[in-house]
Each structure stands twice: as structure tokens, then as C-alpha cells.
Structure 1
Amino acid sequence: MSTNKELLSKSIKYLAWALPLLFIGPSLIYNAFINKQNVWHYLVLGIGITVCIGAVYLMFLGLKTMMRSLFND
């Protein structure tokens, strides 16, 4: 039972893209709630929520791909 190195590298790339999004998303949401007097409040909030959802999706995809590479479906 060997590890599929191509799939493992692909999963690490997914997780590497998810890592900065995990920090950017909540900071955008926090910034949107702090600047409620600004007209761009809802746009920044929507972008922050979208970035957080993207981070969770990329983490799920990366872990799923990693499990597939380790345990060879």
C-alpha cells in the first residue's frame, strides 16, 4: 500500500491555498462590522463570507484528496 504522491501534492496545494483564506476571511468580516457607517459595508461583508466559505471548501477538498492519496480508493 503506497502513497500516491501526485494526489498528495495536489492536496497540499489545496490546503496551502486555504491557509491564507482562513485569516483573510474573518478579518474582512471584522472590518465590515467595524465600518458600518461606510457605504461599502455590505459588499465587504459579502466578500468576507464568500472567502470564509471558499476556505472551508478548499480545506474539505484538500483533506478528501489527501485521504484518497493515502488509502488508495
Structure 2
Amino acid sequence: MSGTTTIRLSDEDRRLLAQLVPEYGDQSSVIRHGIRRLAEEQAQRAALRSLLHDWEAESGPVDEDMVAEMRQRYFNR
């Protein structure tokens, strides 16, 4: 499926887009890359939620401090 989509960007979004274009080739490539990256992050969060659910089912409640530490370590690099 290919087509045209109109989006409204703030001045800051336009500045960031222009900053990224040289690395990715054009505006559409930057936006496609961003969409794919967001989808990957969403899949990672879903996998982590599933892991934590399974962990709790097998071993009891998860230590929230440990979860915060893992979140910082693996998702906020």
C-alpha cells in the first residue's frame, strides 16, 4: 500500500526532520524509519510486559525497583 499522507508538524518537528534528512535521504525516509522504530519499541515493551507477567505467575510479585532499573538500563540508553 502506497500513498500520500498529510501530517502537520510543529516548527521544532520541522527542524528535527531537516536535521535528519541528510542521514536518511529524504523526509519520507526519516518518517518511515521513525514509524518502524516506534513499532520496534512497542514490540519490546509488549515482550517485557509478557516476561514480567510470566515471571509473576511463576515467582510472585516483581520488585518494582528492579523493574525501574531494568527499564533505565535497557530502554533509556
Instruction: Report the TM-score when normalising by structure 2.
Output: 0.44
Instruction: Report the TM-score when normalising by structure 1.
Output: 0.46
Structure with the higher helix share, 1 or 2? 1
Q: Highest Rg: 1 or 2?
A: 2
